[in-house]
């Protein structure tokens, strides 16, 4: 059987509803056999199948006309039957509704139908409707009266072959009678319908091209409920639906209205955009891109990615803290935050993004605050610490924390550095790692709050013994260097980072706390924070003096060899 769940629950209040434990074929069968009038809506691809389901329909007509039209070909079996079946697979995946395929003539003789039935069952299609014409067919509304009908016995044999082939007892074969369309008259139509019923057809589709439902109603009266009746009121569309109910019809097919609606919408839009050469007039009248994502269930993908991909992921992200105005650069930060200061012709942020990209950090979150509107959002996720004027760095970090899933660099927004500084940091395998500059603190020309006390000093010639951070603070005594404003957190350390931040939140002064407080909390909590020593090769941009030198440094960065010279100190400019 085609669906995984075959058994009907003992008491199903509505066996036709999608999502019920019934298979799709069982639901289609129930629609055909139930007393109330049911409706199938046309769909022609995965997207339209999803839209039909969301509108509340309980079943889908996979129209031959509409599917060939969306391929841009004629309804003359120009699309191959396997192309149709491939499309059905998308439709089955996009919607849990039962699908009745408009299978034309079965794409050949009894043997072609047998293979079709097998393939449809395998793909979860609930049933097929075949019409008593000859392959290759043409649409019934195109010179319908000129079209030759199938031999009645040959067609009955085809139905029997299909019924004998199906494995799922609920798979439905609907026999479509074209005698009225072809002008053979009511008697022939009834004769054929009866022959097809006897051959095993689960329902009869009686087709008419008249603008009134008269011959359908007459047929239904004469037929007298010998098998479920299906109709396609494309031409007699103005007939009140109650007429079909009163006639005892089982299922009405709205056969081509989704593709016609799409054609109309696309023509209007294309003409208008072509004429006006702008999108501004149409944007609000069409589905937002987000609606496409919703219909594609993009959110499920994102969730699955987190579940299955993050463990093996080499993805890296960065959080850039750029909310504060800082002091020392007031004349330059009237209209923009520090991260947008031009350094050698480009905003500081662009230098950072370049450096990140080189190391495969593609997901960058910038937490802005002061003059955040001046931050160029291209290529970054921009978050806002609205209370930046009253709060410290940890409040900004907390804005970005919920979105973090991968290895993450937390970095100040006013940093320039040689690329090896970041590369070496990312090579550490510890959950937490920081960059500490071991060049003499005396060279720093401002009050520094982030001296680093480490387990041991920089042993520049003795590689292999990573130092661990012990404390960061303003006290130079005993310090082994200066933390430059970069913290790398492995994915495996994120929970601990979040816990440390949550712990700090309990402090009354949390809103004023900066990154050193977090580093100290991590260390205090027993986390090993590995130290990567550098000796210069980076710049902060904290005052006019530093700003003036930053341009030269950045220039050197883009042209210089990135390998550090062993004796190069902070004064490498
Ligand atoms: C279809 O939708 O392709 C049909 C119905 O076969 S009709 O076009 O009305 O013949
Ligand atoms: Mg058709």
Q: What is the DSSP string of 178-212?
A: -TTTTT--HHHHHHHHHHHHHHT-SEEEE---SSS
Distance between alpha carbon 363 and the CA centroid of its chain, in Å?
A: 17
Whether the predicted pLDDT of 11 surpasses 50: no
- Does residue 201 contact residue 106 with C-beta atoms inside 8 Å? no
Give the residue-averaged pLDDT of 177-195: 97
Asked if residues 363 and 316 have their Cβ atoms less than 8 Å apart, the reply is: yes
Q: Are 156 and 198 in contact (CB under 8 A)?
A: yes
Per-residue pLDDT, averaged over 422-437, amounts to: 94
- Look at residue 462 in the predicted model and tell me its pLDDT: 64
- CA-closest candidate to residue 338, choices 352, 349, 346: 349
Site to probe by mutation for ligand 1, drawn from 130, 144, 207 as the one with most ligand atoms within 8 Å of Cβ, is: 207
Cβ contact 249:230 at 8 Å:
yes
Q: Is 256 left (phi over 0), alpha (psi -120 to 50) or beta?
A: alpha
Mean predicted confidence (pLDDT) in 49-60: 98
Query: Do the Cβ atoms of 433 and 423 come closer than 8 Å?
Result: no
- Please name the residue that has the structure tokens 């299909």: 162
In the predicted structure, residue 448 carries a pLDDT above the cut 80:
no
pLDDT at 220 over 70: yes
- Res. 510: pLDDT tops 60: yes
Q: What's 235's DSSP letter?
A: T
Q: What is the pLDDT of residue 145?
A: 79
* Choice from 177, 232, 237, 252 to test ligand 1 binding pocket (greatest atom count within 8 A of CB): 232
Ligand 1, atom 5: nearest CA belongs to which residue?
A: 255
Residue 263 to residues 314, 449, 455: CA-CA distances in angstroms? 44, 66, 71
Distance 140 CA to ligand 1 centre (A): 7
Q: Determine which residue's CA is closest to atom 10 belonging to ligand 1.
A: 140
Q: What is the mean pLDDT of residues 123-135?
A: 98
Higher pLDDT among residues 402 and 262, named by residue = 262
Above 70 in pLDDT, residue 519?
A: yes
Scan for tokens 């650069």, then name that residue: 329
Cβ of 147 closer than 6 Å to ligand 1, yes or no, is: no
What pLDDT was estimated at residue 14? 63
CB of 63 sitting under 6 A from ligand 1: yes
Percent of the chain with pLDDT over 70: 90
- Segment 332-355 shows an average pLDDT of 92
Task: Flag the least confident range among 95-99, 220-224, 312-316, 453-457.
Answer: 312-316
Selected catalytic residue, list 75, 168, 407, 437? 75
Measured from the CA of 139, which atom of ligand 1 is nearest? Answer: 10
What is the structure's pLDDT at 399? 93
Phi, psi of 463 (to 5 degrees): -75, 155
Task: Quote the longest CA-to-CA distance of the chain.
Answer: 107
Which segments within 103-250 are labelled E, that is strand? 127-131, 172-177, 203-206, 229-231
pLDDT-derived band of residue 7, with 50, 70 and 90 as boundaries? Answer: very low
Task: Assess whether the C-beta atom of 64 lies below 6 angstroms from ligand 1.
Answer: yes
Residues 100-109: what's their mean pLDDT? 98
Q: CB of 234 closer than 6 A to ligand 1?
A: yes
How far, in Å, is the centroid of ligand 1 from the Cα of 247? Answer: 21
Per-residue confidence band for 477, with pLDDT thresholds at 50, 70 and 90: low
322 phi, psi to nearest 5 deg = -140, 35
For the CA of 42, the nearest atom of ligand 1: 2
Residue 566 is predicted with a pLDDT of 37
pLDDT band at residue 43 under the 50/70/90 scheme: very high
Q: Indicate the pLDDT class of residue 332, thresholds 50, 70 and 90.
A: confident
Question: pLDDT averaged over the chain?
Answer: 90
- Given this model, what pLDDT does residue 330 score? 86
Grade residue 442 by pLDDT with cuts at 50, 70 and 90: low
Q: Is the per-residue pLDDT at 571 higher than 60?
A: no
Pocket of ligand 1 contains residue 232 by CB under 6 Å: yes
Model pLDDT, residue 570: 37
Banded model confidence at residue 441, pLDDT cuts 50, 70, 90: low
Q: Burial-class residue 35 by CB neighbours within 10 Å (0-12, 13-18, 19+).
A: exposed
Is pLDDT of 35 > 70? yes
* Residue 560: pLDDT over 50: no
478-481 contacts, C-beta under 8 A, 24 or more apart: 478/453, 479/441, 479/451, 479/452, 479/453, 480/436, 480/438, 480/452, 480/453, 480/454, 480/456, 480/531, 481/436, 481/437, 481/438, 481/439, 481/441, 481/451, 481/452, 481/454, 481/533
Q: Is the CB of 406 under 6 A from ligand 1?
A: no
pTM: 0.70
Ligand 1 atom closest to 61 (CA): 2
């Amino acid at each position: 059987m085609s669906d995984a769940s075959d058994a009907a629950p003992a008491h199903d209040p509505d066996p036709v509803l999608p999502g019920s434990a019934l298979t799709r074929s069982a639901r289609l069968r129930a629609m055909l056999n139930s007393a109330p009038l049911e409706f199938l809506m046309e769909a022609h691809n995965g997207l339209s199948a999803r839209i039909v389901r969301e509108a509340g329909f309980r079943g889908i007509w996979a129209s031959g006309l509409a599917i060939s039209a969306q391929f841009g070909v004629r309804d003359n079996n120009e699309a191959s039957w396997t192309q149709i079946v491939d499309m059905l697979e998308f439709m089955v995946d996009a919607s849990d509704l039962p699908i009745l395929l408009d299978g034309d003539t079965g794409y050949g003789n009894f043997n072609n139908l047998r293979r079709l039935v097998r393939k449809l069952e395998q793909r979860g299609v609930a049933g097929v409707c075949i019409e008593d014409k000859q392959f290759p067919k043409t649409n019934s509304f195109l010179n319908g009266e000129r079209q030759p009908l199938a031999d009645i016995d040959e067609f009955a044999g085809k139905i029997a072959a299909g019924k004998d082939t199906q494995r799922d007892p609920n798979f439905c074969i609907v026999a479509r009678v074209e005698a009225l369309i072809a002008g053979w008259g009511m008697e022939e139509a009834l004769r054929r319908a009866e022959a097809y019923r006897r051959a095993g057809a689960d329902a009869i589709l009686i087709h008419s091209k008249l603008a009134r439902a008269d011959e359908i109603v007459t047929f239904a009266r004469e037929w007298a409920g010998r098998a479920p009746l299906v109709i396609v009121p494309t031409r007699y569309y103005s007939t009140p639906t109650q007429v079909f109910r009163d006639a005892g019809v089982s299922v009405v097919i709205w056969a081509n209205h989704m593709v016609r609606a799409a054609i109309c919408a696309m023509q209007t839009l294309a003409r208008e955009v072509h004429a006006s050469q702008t999108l501004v007039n149409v944007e609000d009248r069409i589905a937002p891109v987000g609606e496409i994502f919703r219909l594609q269930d993009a959110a499920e993908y994102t969730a699955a990615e987190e579940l299955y991909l993050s463990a093996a992921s080499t993805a890296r992200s960065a959080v850039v803290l750029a909310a504060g105005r800082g002091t020392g650069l007031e004349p330059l930060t009237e209209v923009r935050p520090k991260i947008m200061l031009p350094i050698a012709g480009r905003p500081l942020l662009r230098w950072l993004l370049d450096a990140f990209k080189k190391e495969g950090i593609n997901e960058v979150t910038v937490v802005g605050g002061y003059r955040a509107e001046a931050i160029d959002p291209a290529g970054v996720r921009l978050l806002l610490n609205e209370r930046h004027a009253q709060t410290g760095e940890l409040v900004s970090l907390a804005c970005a924390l919920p979105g973090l899933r991968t290895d993450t660099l937390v970095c100040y927004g006013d940093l320039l550095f040689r690329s090896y500084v970041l590369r070496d940091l990312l090579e550490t395998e510890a959950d937490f790692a920081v960059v500490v500059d071991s060049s003499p603190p005396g060279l720093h020309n401002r009050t520094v709050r982030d001296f680093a006390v480490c387990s041991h000093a920089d042993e520049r010639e003795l590689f292999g013994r990573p130092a661990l951070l012990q404390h960061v603070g303003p006290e130079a005594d005993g310090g082994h260097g200066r933390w430059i404003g970069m913290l790398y957190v492995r994915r495996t350390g994120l929970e601990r980072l979040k816990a440390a931040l949550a712990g700090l939140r309990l402090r009354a002064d949390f809103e004023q706390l900066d990154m050193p407080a977090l580093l100290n909390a991590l260390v205090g909590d027993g986390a090993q924070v590995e130290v990567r020593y550098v000796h210069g090769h980076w710049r902060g941009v904290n005052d006019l003096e530093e700003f003036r030198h930053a341009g030269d440094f950045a220039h050197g960065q883009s042209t210089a060899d990135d390998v550090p010279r062993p004796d190069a100190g902070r004064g490498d400019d």
